[in-house]
Structure 1
Amino acid sequence: MSEQETRVLTAVKKSPLATQQELANQLGMSRESVAGHIMRLTNKGFILGKGYIVPEDNNIVVIGGCNLDICGRAISALRLEDSNLGQISQSPGGVGRNIAENLSRLGQDVSLISAIGQDKSGDWLLEQCRSSGINMDAVIRHPDFGTSTYLALNDPHGQLVAAVSDMAIINTLDGTQLSHKKSLLLSAQTLLIEANLSEACIEWLAQLNCQGSLYADAVSVQKSVRLKPILHRLTGLKVNRDEAKALTGLADASDKELIQALLKAGVKNVLLSLGNEGVIFANHKEQASHGIFTIDAVSDTGAGDALFAGFIHAQLNTWPIAQSLEFASACSAMTLESDSANTPNISPKNIEKWIANK
């Protein structure tokens, strides 16, 4: 940023409703010069569109799915090809949206970029997300696709048995759509994506000259390979073993070999989720692990999203890695104790108390 651009940005922050002529008078510049600086600041992401809206410090932008989650939990051993007695619940979901809600409840300033339908499910999701503190102004309402729906079937212990995901609408998030959100993307101090996005979308993001940290969630074995074009840009990547094997092509590799391969591919920090075995963090300087907390799990939907959100929150607060992994693991465990993909109980104070009682 040039000296003149810095002066204009400072003036805009002090007087965001001022006209270009008023700013010019304050700065001793011509109106045309101020207009040119504002255009360049907007293109760089320091000003967000009309009204001279300046992004918050430490803002996070999440790009990913925003779903209606429907979860059925059997009350006894599942019988395939038959009707099973159980309980059915509805909640907001989607990997990107889940992470965004957790980050918001942890006190972070979060905006979500996603696509939802112009239907009642989309209306309900907007209301639910906004009530949890997520900025939904950048969400696109699509007239031709229904809102994404995720249907999960869990056993009596809350473990996922099968699921059906109808997420065709997320493929409408492409470079053309995201180019309209470029100022928001460039202004993000932290940008988080997930592998439900299309390959074309991820490739477009890989070319974007983002200045902030870039994190990614691999989501699933099938979708994880979509992240290959952007691995070298990633500040952090969350994967499980199978996803790491798919990304690296090392089917028989050890955890250490998988981590080293991802670091060699350019990922700066790897968060390897091991399920019931806990989690491993590694970069080129250090490696650490944390086991799981002993709990009575209700549902594992959203637990990995909470883990990643807790880890990012800890890293943004520059906590030591051992503390970061403990905090992230506690976020995951609290979500496992909930019957939905997000628990409203997640907050820094509640997690601190929860850990102290374990």
Structure 2
Amino acid sequence: MARAPDILCIGSVLWDVIGRSENQMRQGSDMPGRITQLPGGVAMNIGMALARFGLTPALLSAVGRDAEGDELIKACEARGLITDHIYRSEDLPTDKYMAVEGANGLIAAIADAHSLEAAGDKILLPFTNGSLPAPYSGAVALDGNLTLDLLAEMAHSPLLASADLRVAPASPGKALRLSPFIQARRGTVYVNLEEAGLLCQTSFTTSAQAAEGLLVRGAVRAVVTHGGDPATVGSDAGLITLTPPEVHVARVTGAGDTFMAAHISAELKGRSPQEALSDALEAAALYVSGETKI
């Protein structure tokens, strides 16, 4: 019997190729380090973290019917993720993400999510072919690697009208793709300080300012992080701001996804707003310190 998911993770599922050096780096640096390849993508990272927190996530994405895609599906299933609803394309290759990180953080990254974008609304077929209930009333985590047109469609779709939507932009360059959810007053928006500024067409110095700005802009609820500085959850009920634990930074890629997953998990388990934010900050700190296994 097929497992029923606790939450849907919709967006990028790909291979992460990450080069890390213990040295400080800048543009043009050539340093010794380690290069790893792991399952990644925002939806995948959120799903893996949710599984570590005891939930059963299902992935909705596009993965090629190539050798890399077959291995990626196996890796997803080995981590407790439901892959039955992933669109497997015959003519689109499996996507990849490549990043370089130094002791001073992320140096550069390229996300090749062209297959996901090309697949478009085919990834939503499970809602119309009976594989998933529609309208869907459970929790849904979305990422900004989907096209703006598809995200706008989902913000207004009757198929997701009753869903608990949680939306993240995937990167500052895709922050504006969250605009349809703010305009439609749907869901919880998870952004960092830079992304909040892009959405509000201004700049902020604190997460509290950014959360207030997003609420004024029309967001129903906004969760704003700022690296090791205080993070804020803003809603009609007010603002909650907490400071993350101080840790040695061993890795960066995937930290925001871990934070979002921990926050969602805590809320689904009935934790209070302040407890959920505290849990999420602690989980993200453990992740960037390297203590959390991937």
TM > 0.5 fold call? yes
Distance 1:113 1:249 in 2: 31
Report the CA distance between 1:175 and its aligned residue: 2.8
Instruction: Indicate yes or no: 2:159 matched with 1:207.
Output: no
Structure 1 residues 125-157: Cα deviation after superposition (integer angstroms, max 9, x where no partner): 1111111111110111112222111111111x2
Distance 1:98 1:282 in 2: 24
Corresponding residue of 2:199 = 247
Report the CA distance between 1:102 and its aligned residue: 0.8
Larger of the two Rg values belongs to structure: 1
Report the CA distance between 1:234 and its aligned residue: 2.7
Q: Please state which structure has a larger fraction of its residues in helix.
A: 1
Distance 2:205 2:85 in 1: 41
Structure 1 residues 240-262: Cα deviation after superposition (integer angstroms, max 9, x where no partner): 11111111122367644432332
Corresponding residue of 1:353 = none
Distance 2:126 2:50 in 1: 24
Q: What letter matches 1:128 in structure 2?
A: A
Q: What letter matches 1:225 in structure 2?
A: L
Distance 1:88 1:158 in 2: 17
Corresponding residue of 2:176 = 225
Q: Tell me how large the CA RMSD over aligned residues is.
A: 2.3
Q: What letter matches 1:166 in structure 2?
A: D
Distance 1:148 1:168 in 2: 7
Q: What letter matches 1:230 in structure 2?
A: F
Corresponding residue of 1:71 = 18
Distance 1:191 1:233 in 2: 16
Corresponding residue of 1:84 = 31
Instruction: Indicate yes or no: 2:213 matched with 1:264.
Output: no
| Partners of 1:145 and 1:169 within 8 A in 2 | yes
Query: For structure 1, which segment, 158-167 or 248-257, has the greater mean C-alpha deviation from structure 2 after superposition?
Result: 248-257
Structure 1 residues 4-35: Cα deviation after superposition (integer angstroms, max 9, x where no partner): xxxxxxxxxxxx9xxxxxxxxxxxxxxxxxxx
TM-score, normalised with respect to structure 1: 0.74
Corresponding residue of 2:75 = 128
Report the CA distance between 1:288 and its aligned residue: 1.2
Report the CA distance between 1:108 and its aligned residue: 1.5
Instruction: Indicate yes or no: 2:103 matched with 1:160.
Output: no
SS at match of 2:135: helix
SS at match of 1:89: strand
Distance 2:45 2:293 in 1: 10
Report the CA distance between 1:75 and its aligned residue: 4.1
Distance 2:278 2:238 in 1: 16
Q: Please state which structure has a larger fraction of its residues in strand.
A: 2
Distance 2:204 2:29 in 1: 37
- 5+ long unaligned stretches in structure 2: none
Instruction: Indicate yes or no: 2:93 matched with 1:146.
Output: yes
Structure 1 residues 192-251: Cα deviation after superposition (integer angstroms, max 9, x where no partner): 111111011112212212212111012222211111112234331111111111111223
Corresponding residue of 2:57 = 110
Q: What letter matches 1:203 in structure 2?
A: A
Give the share of equivalent positions with the same residue, in percent. Answer: 25
Structure 1 residues 19-52: Cα deviation after superposition (integer angstroms, max 9, x where no partner): xxxxxxxxxxxxxxxxxxxxxxxxxxxxxxxxxx
Corresponding residue of 1:193 = 142
Report the CA distance between 1:78 and its aligned residue: 3.5
Task: Decide which of 135, 152, 167 is 1:216's aligned counterpart.
Answer: 167
Distance 2:137 2:69 in 1: 25
